[in-house]
Amino acid sequence: MAALLTALALPASLDAQIPQEEYATRRASLARMMSGDGVILVRGATAPAQDYMEFSQSPSLNYLAGIQEPDASLLIVKRGSTVNEILFVRERNPDREIWEGKFLGTKGASALTGMEARPREALNGVLDSLLQRGGTLFTTSTADMAGFPGSSGREWTPPEGTRAQPMIAELQRLRGTKSAAELQLIRRAVDITVEAHNEARRIVAPDRYEYEVEAIIEYTFRRNGAERPAFASIVGSGPNSTSLHYNQNDRQMKAGETIVIDIGANFHGYSADITRTLPVSGKFTPEQSLIYQTVRNAQAAAEAEARPGVSYTKLMAAAESELAAGLARAGLIDSANATYDCNRPGGCPQFRLYYMHGLGHGIGLQVHDPDQFQFGTIGVNSVFTIEPGIYVREDVLDHLPDTPGNRALRARLAPAVAKYANIGVRIEDDYIVSENGAEWISRVPRELSEVGG
């Protein structure tokens, strides 16, 4: 059995990791973006508040130092043309290490990163003395802009007269362009998630429970070295397929339903995010096929526009026009550009009753990671998802504002909604952009004929 499992696992990663020089380059790039003298404060995640929960590092400290321990912080200090970096970590502690395993300690952290390292208890004092000499306190999280919890649980407030300024956007901008090493890690997370989808589809069948599918998925993640799911796995059948972030995964699926499987492995901090929709009994009904093909057409239309220099809104427009056309064909809306009465002048597009989320997002250290397109256009080494969907909630018409126009609309659309009720379809793929265009990297079968048309 052990030999069989080894044979089935994906080939082990070839030491995929971020080199230390790259962390140093990232810190130097951020330092160059400082608008003057001062201190950038980068706080890591604290130990989980509840005992025995897994630790997961804050994306900012992960990006700039790669330290995987609780209660670490980084200062980047700039005076004129001189930049210093100081890491703060837990000091070695034999008593606690009995319980938690070996700490890096200041020596270990310094050897690992090449930075000066001090005990974390020294952070507040060092910050005080640096800021008393003047300069701006640059923060890297919204929590730090709101207040300053101390390094060891004590409150800390900046010295009187300190000017605080966020560098969140600058850090996001850096993170929005992925390096070669990051692309390798993302590809690895995606490959593992592809395998999980392929395993999951073998389990889907009438009368199975959603959690059986979830179990195979998360088993496949871990077996291939992914540390954890990047987000709560979504396995939603029947009515659950129309809830965007359903993740209870405890329902028994029935013949004739659709099932939405939206999952992503986190590998060495990097996330994948792939969604497939399957017919529980292996074959879609004609209604499900129409919805599925519409969503797939929307994704293909957006994908065809994806290349460097293009605004993501162009992809959105391409997808929306396919979604609206398909919904009109199904009779779920009056026409592609029809509206309904809402609290906005001019009304709201009818297709939005069935497609209520964004088209996609960057992926990286977070499952919703910054990407270049947020700061302008898609660029080389942009990495993002394209994930259109249609969700026919059976009560979709019950919550429209009560106006004469909406009452008439409800009467017109009710038969179609009854016919398509509880069909939820989302198709989500991951892309890496190069000079040549967007590469589809999440190659799980997705055409109607492959999935159950």
CB 253 within 8 A of CB 237: yes
- By C-beta, is 131 or 235 nearer to Mn ion? 235
- Best CA proximity match to 162, nearest among 200, 130, 186, 135: 135
Rounded Cα distance, 341 and 357, in Å: 19
Q: How far is the CB of 250 from Mn ion (least distance, A)?
A: 22
- By C-beta, is 144 or 387 nearer to Mn ion? 387
Q: How far is the CB of 262 from Mn ion (least distance, A)?
A: 7
Instruction: Fill in the per-residue mask, 219 to 258: x = in contact with Mn ion (CB under 5 A), - = not in contact.
Output: ----------------------------------------
- By C-beta, is 41 or 186 nearer to Mn ion? 186
Q: How far is the CB of 178 from Mn ion (least distance, A)?
A: 17
Q: Which stretch binds Mn ion (CB under 5 A): 6-14, 30-38, 281-289, 377-385?
A: 377-385
Q: Which stretch binds Mn ion (CB under 5 A): 223-231, 232-240, 252-260, 270-278?
A: 270-278
Q: Which of residues 15-44 bind Mn ion (CB under 5 A)?
A: none
Q: How far is the CB of 231 from Mn ion (least distance, A)?
A: 8
Contact call for residue 210 and Mn ion (CB under 5 A):
no
Q: Which residue is listed with tokens 């009187």? A: 160
- By C-beta, is 71 or 429 nearer to Mn ion? 429
- By C-beta, is 30 or 194 nearer to Mn ion? 194
Q: Name the residue with the smallest CB distance to Mn ion.
A: 273
Q: How far is the CB of 316 from Mn ion (least distance, A)?
A: 14
Looking at residue 299, its amino acid is Q
- By C-beta, is 188 or 426 nearer to Mn ion? 426
Number of residues that bind Mn ion (CB under 5 A): 2
CB 296 within 8 A of CB 448: yes
Q: How far is the CB of 272 from Mn ion (least distance, A)?
A: 10
- By C-beta, is 120 or 361 nearer to Mn ion? 361
CB 213 within 8 A of CB 250: no
CB 424 within 8 A of CB 253: no
Q: How far is the CB of 12 from Mn ion (least distance, A)?
A: 27
- By C-beta, is 273 or 369 nearer to Mn ion? 273
Q: Which stretch binds Mn ion (CB under 5 A): 14-22, 66-74, 124-132, 379-387?
A: 379-387
Q: Which residue is listed with tokens 């019950």? A: 398
Question: Tokens representing 153?
Answer: 């649980």
Contact call for residue 273 and Mn ion (CB under 5 A):
yes
Instruction: Fill in the per-residue mask, 381 to 410: x = in contact with Mn ion (CB under 5 A), - = not in contact.
Output: ----x-------------------------
- By C-beta, is 77 or 316 nearer to Mn ion? 316
CB 75 within 8 A of CB 86: yes
Q: How far is the CB of 363 from Mn ion (least distance, A)?
A: 8
Q: How far is the CB of 327 from Mn ion (least distance, A)?
A: 21
Q: How far is the CB of 88 from Mn ion (least distance, A)?
A: 34
Query: What letters, b where the CB count within 10 A reaches 16 and e where it falls short, cover 412-439?
Result: ebeebbeebbbbbbbbbbbbbbeeebbe
- By C-beta, is 257 or 273 nearer to Mn ion? 273
Residues lying near Mn ion in the complex (CB under 5 A): 273, 385
